[in-house]
Amino acid sequence: MRELYPEIEPYRTHRLAVDALHELHVEECGHPDGVPVVFLHGGPGAGLSPYHRRFFDPTRYRVVLFDQRGAGRSTPHAELRDNTTWHLVADIEAIRQYLRIERWAVFGGSWGSTLALAYAQRHPARVFGLVLRGIFLARPGELRWFNELDGGASWIFPERWARYLAHIPAEERGNMIEAYWRRFDSDDPATRLSAALAWGHWEGGSTTLLHDPDEPGTFEDPHVAISVARAEAHYFRHAMFLEPDQLLRDIDRIRHIPSTIVHGRYDIICPVRSARDLADAWPEAALRIVLAGHSAADPAIVDALVAATDALVERHSSS
């Protein structure tokens, strides 16, 4: 199976002010004259990790990565004002223009797949390829599946769900997203952090195929926990700032773009039905369902994603 490319450091970093409030951390890795690709992280609010640079051949790709509004090293931290899907789509385009890139590939996983689809549908002339992982189409059923009492995820990870549920009093459990949001929006820092850690433990520990119900997961750092919890609840409460079924409705805008969809068969956070629905609406895209969970670090997901980026750069270089 393919593995991630070796660890790599950015050859250039940028601070890009996209409005009077938000300033983004942007980095470039790989080959300065390589095939350009932009990486879109998940969450929203999760920010970048060093391993995100490693899905791309550094001798052939010019890899652009950035922390989305309110996430990672972008500032202000955990800021939700002027923070919507369409602000982020505009930010991606601003980065492309700032770096003087004519067209690029777009790589996104989980929330990053949602954002990649929204960006490509808004700016199809600027995208020559897509690699999408852990498809999330932002439909109401997808949100309820993982976050609410009538969803299905609680049946699969009951120990972890019990801790997520226990943080909210019984009388507020009819709408868990709203109940958590009230705590994320509290004036009390301790209340905000406690709720964010509970939210992050539920999601961040539910990503891998091999599940340990006591594993704290990937969002235990308070800085990350706060930005993820606040941004996710903010976006969830507003249906990700998308119209109903918008991403499927507008698929004709990007059907001509060479694309690969990678999804774990046992992804509990973003169930495989979403990938199947996207592929059914978009038969030109290549769909790979692999033996994995949600995590981009699961070995079968790594294998499929690296194969996809290798194939994309080869196709683009020979065209």
Summarize pLDDT for 79-105 with one digit per residue, the tens. Answer: 999 999 999 999 999 999 999 999 999
CATH number for the domain harbouring residue 89: 3.40.50.1820
Write down the pLDDT at residue 175: 97
Domain boundary among 212, 240, 268: 240
Does 221 fall in a domain? yes
Strand order across the 104-109 sheet? 12-17, 23-30, 61-66, 35-40, 104-109, 127-133, 259-264, 286-290
- Strand partners of residue 61: 35
Write down the pLDDT at residue 210: 85
Please say whether the dihedral angle defined by the alpha carbons of residues 217, 220, 224 and 229, taken in this order, is positive or negative.
positive
Domain boundary among 240, 256, 283: 240
Write down the pLDDT at residue 279: 98
204 compared with 126, residue with greater pLDDT: 126
190-238 pLDDT tens trace: 999 999 999 999 998 889 888 888 777 777 888 999 999 999 999 999 9
Does 22 fall in a domain? yes
Full-model pTM: 0.97
Does 199 fall in a domain? yes
Q: Are 122 and 216 found together in one domain?
A: no
132-145 pLDDT tens trace: 999 999 999 999 99
Q: Are 174 and 36 found together in one domain?
A: no
Please say whether the dihedral angle defined by the alpha carbons of residues 311, 312, 316 and 317, taken in this order, is positive or negative.
negative
Q: Compute the distance between CA of residue 50 and CA of residue 48 in angstroms, rounded to an integer.
A: 7
Write down the pLDDT at residue 319: 75
Residues marked as catalytic: 110, 267, 294
Domain boundary among 187, 214, 240: 240
Q: Are 223 and 267 found together in one domain?
A: no
**Alpha-helix runs per DSSP H in the chain:** 85-98, 111-122, 140-147, 158-166, 176-184, 189-204, 222-237, 246-249, 273-281, 299-318
Q: Are 172 and 284 found together in one domain?
A: no
Write down the pLDDT at residue 16: 98
- Supply 48's token pair: 């970048």
Enumerate residues 6+ apart whose C-beta is below 8 A from 200. 217, 218, 219, 220, 224, 225, 228, 229
Domain range spanning residue 224? 140-240
Q: Compute the distance between CA of residue 93 and CA of residue 47 in angstroms, rounded to an integer.
A: 18
Structural domain count, the chain: 2
